Amino acid sequence: PSSLTISRPVVLIGLMGAGKTTVGRRLAELLALPFKDADEEIEDAANMSVADIFETYGEGYFREGERKVIERLLSEGPMVLATGGGAFMNAATRELVKLKAISIWLRADLDLLVKRTAQKATRPLLQQGDAREILARLLKERAPVYAEADIVVDSLEGPHLKTVNRIIKAL
């Protein structure tokens, strides 16, 4: 365990497949902090899957629910919070995160994102066409905004523990 004292929530941002949830869980363990996953919290609050929320109510409704859930979690004190890939793209959510948390962009290249997301077919945004094309477009659109994070760490192929250790060094 690390002897670092973390006084604000640590928020992981980045595209689908960057490893936010897996890295977040391990980071939380090492920092002895609670781990929360924003998508899961939204699903619990709505009693619906992310895919069903998108399908039934649309992305705008999801983003508003996401903002509310993240606002609540950020008021709960230090934790490691993995957010969905679009959370930091929402201006209101981004301002909240910047104000109340230490943000970390888990940056991964396109090949790795494609490979990792292929293992889980539950992401509504990737069901709308060719996953590589969609991820390439999102990466281009989102990278300049993700780059506003406090810390940028590359998520590389191989054991997530390496990535976790690099985050701990950067904190």
Q: What's the one-letter identity of residue 4?
A: L
Is residue 50 a contact point for ligand S3P (CB under 6 A)? yes
By beta-carbon proximity to ligand S3P, the closer residue of 79 and 125 is 125
DSSP bridge partners of 153 = 106
Is residue 123 a contact point for ligand S3P (CB under 6 A)? yes
In angstroms, rounded to a whole number, what is the distance separating the alpha carbons of residues 149 and 159? Answer: 23
The kind and range of the H/E element at 60 are helix 59-74
Is residue 63 a contact point for ligand S3P (CB under 6 A)? no
By beta-carbon proximity to ligand S3P, the closer residue of 4 and 95 is 95
Residue 14, annotated as binding a ligand: no
Q: To the nearest whole angstrom, how small is the minimum distance from the Cβ of residue 86 to ligand S3P?
A: 3
Is residue 13 a contact point for ligand S3P (CB under 6 A)? no
* Helix segments in the chain, DSSP class H: 20-31, 38-46, 50-57, 59-74, 91-100, 110-117, 131-146, 160-170
Is residue 124 a contact point for ligand S3P (CB under 6 A)? yes
Q: To the nearest whole angstrom, how small is the minimum distance from the Cβ of residue 159 to ligand S3P?
A: 20
Burial of residue 15, with CB atoms counted within 10 A of its CB: 0-12 exposed, 13-18 middle, 19 or more buried? buried
Q: What's the one-letter identity of residue 137?
A: R
Shortest CA distance to 14 belongs to which of 159, 157, 168, 138?
Answer: 138
Sole binder of ligand S3P in the list 10, 79, 84, 149 (CB under 6 A): 84
Is residue 67 a contact point for ligand S3P (CB under 6 A)? no
Chain residues that interact with ligand S3P, rule: CB under 6 A: 16, 20, 39, 50, 84-86, 123-125
